[in-house]
Amino acid sequence: MSFVDRYLAVWILVSMAAGLGLGRLVPGLGDALAKVTVTGVSLPIALGLLVMMYPVLAKVRYDRLGTVTGDRRLLLPSLVLNWVLGPALMFALAWIFLPDLPEFRTGLIIVGLARCIAMVVIWNDLACGDREAAAVLVALNSVFQVFAFSLLGWFYLSVLPGWLGLEQTALDVSVGEIARSVLIFLGIPLAAGYLTRRLGERAKGRTWYETQLLPRIGPFALYGLLFTIVVLFALQGDAITSQPFDVVRIALPLLVYFALMWAGSMALGKAVGLDYPKATTLAFTAAGNNFELAIAVSIATFGATSGQALAGVVGPLIEVPVLIGLVYVALAARRFFSDPGPSAASPSVVPEGPARV
């Protein structure tokens, strides 16, 4: 392992601290970063995510996707976890923990509705999950997201609260806005990764592609991840450090959500007979959220300085350290599976040479 790979968790924590420090110490940095946006998300964040996802999606063996799409033990639980249990759990936790803070509560519910299609590929890869399964599940989530996000937003913010006699909120977001977000944050890196593999293997063969090219582009996933973390924390550094109690209030239901969704999904995967790589993929795709979409919708609907937008930003700030911790938990849990998948001494070791991420 390289020096960077060996201390991955340390670099993530350093990146978080650096972002917070920059956001707090450099006047106007957050405003400057937020001025140039893509679908309501800072362009630096968008670029960081694209750089982060591209190498991982270039590793996917797309000729194996057919075996994943026919696996009902994986696909059906994923759909239920992502589009039934996940939003319902976040709705319940938001009302339990934030009954007196409607803006934060609404922001959390929106986070729960936005199912993960981006950063999950990194956590899955670090935990030695099934890359092909991850590619299929994030693609499936993206399709459902385009058609189901607005409908679920209407149901959980207006219809269900009305039935329960709770406060109602309107959410105005179009299918076109959601589709644009999916295209940018999943479509572009997915197309780039697919074309890189197809053209690379056609020109030089699979052995060259996996032993020569992937080790060269692989480290950029880690660089993109760390850059994205710095920018995320810098964007809200001042708000986070000046409103610590608000951040703690938002963080508590998020911590419970990530723990319950991940552990429950991992246990469900084992119960239905999935091997370690696929159970891991099921757990991380169910626990993660599409914070890019949640932030964009909150900003577009309620404003950049709203409590809903702050809740959307706190989402990934909690998700990043929690899910990197769950990577280690997942690797430790491999001994409970009859097929533990690829061996790894740490989250940064993967089967393909020195390309660790």
pLDDT of residue 137: 92
pLDDT tens digit sequence for 89-123: 999 999 999 999 999 999 999 999 988 877 788 89
Confidence at 206, pLDDT banded by 50, 70, 90: very high
- Work out whether the CA dihedral 242, 39, 118, 303 comes out positive or negative: positive
Q: What is the pTM of this model?
A: 0.81
For residue 102, give the nearest of 302, 333, 325, 345 by alpha carbon: 302
Cβ–Cβ < 8 Å for 157, 171: yes
Asked if pLDDT for residue 355 goes beyond 80, the answer is no
Give the Cα separation of 230 and 93 in Å (integer). 28
pLDDT at 208: 95
Model pLDDT for residues 234-275, shown as the tens digit of each residue: 876 776 777 788 889 999 999 999 999 999 999 999 999 999
Q: Which of 266, 240, 92 is nearest to 164 (CA)?
A: 92
Say which residue, 196 or 28, is predicted with more confidence: 196
Q: Is the CB of residue 186 less than 8 Å from the CB of residue 117?
A: yes
- What confidence category does residue 226 fall into, taking pLDDT thresholds of 50, 70 and 90? confident
pLDDT tens figures, 26-69 = 777 767 776 777 666 678 878 888 888 899 889 988 888 888 88
Distance between the two ends of the chain, CA-based, in angstroms?
A: 11
User: What distance in Å separates the CA atoms of residue 156 and residue 150, rounded to the nearest whole number?
Assistant: 10
Per residue in 128-182, pLDDT tens? Answer: 999 999 989 988 888 888 888 888 999 999 999 999 999 998 777 777 777 877 7
- For 58, the token pair is 């270039």
Residue listed under structure tokens 């299918």: 175
> Is residue 357 very low, low, confident or very high in pLDDT (cuts 50, 70, 90)?
very low
Examine the pLDDT at 84 and tell me if it is beyond 90: yes
The pLDDT value recorded for residue 232 is 78
How high is the pLDDT of residue 230? 86
Neighbours of 292 (CB within 10 A): 28
The amino acid sitting at 324 is I
- With contact defined as beta carbons under 8 Å apart, do 323 and 257 qualify? no
| Cross-strand partners of 37 | 42
- The one-letter code for the residue type at 325 is G
Amino acid of residue 124: N
Tokens of 56: 């991982």
What is d(CA 278, CA 35) in angstroms, rounded to the nearest whole number? Answer: 40
CA atoms of 102 and 110, how far apart (whole Å): 12
pLDDT interval class at 195 (50, 70, 90):
very high
> What is the percent of the chain where pLDDT is above 70?
89
For residues 17 and 343, give the distance between their C-alpha atoms in angstroms, rounded to a whole number.
31
Q: How many whole angstroms separate alpha carbon 295 and alpha carbon 299? A: 6
Query: Which tokens belong to 48?
Result: 């960081």
At 342, is the pLDDT very low, low, confident or very high (cuts 50, 70, 90)?
low
Is residue 160 within 8 A of residue 91, CB to CB? The reply is yes
User: Dihedral sign, CA of 300, 302, 306, 310?
Assistant: negative
Phi, psi at residue 155, to the nearest 5°?
A: -70, -50
Q: What is the DSSP string of 34-71?
A: HHSEETTEEHHHHHHHHHHHHHHHHH--GGGHHHHHT-
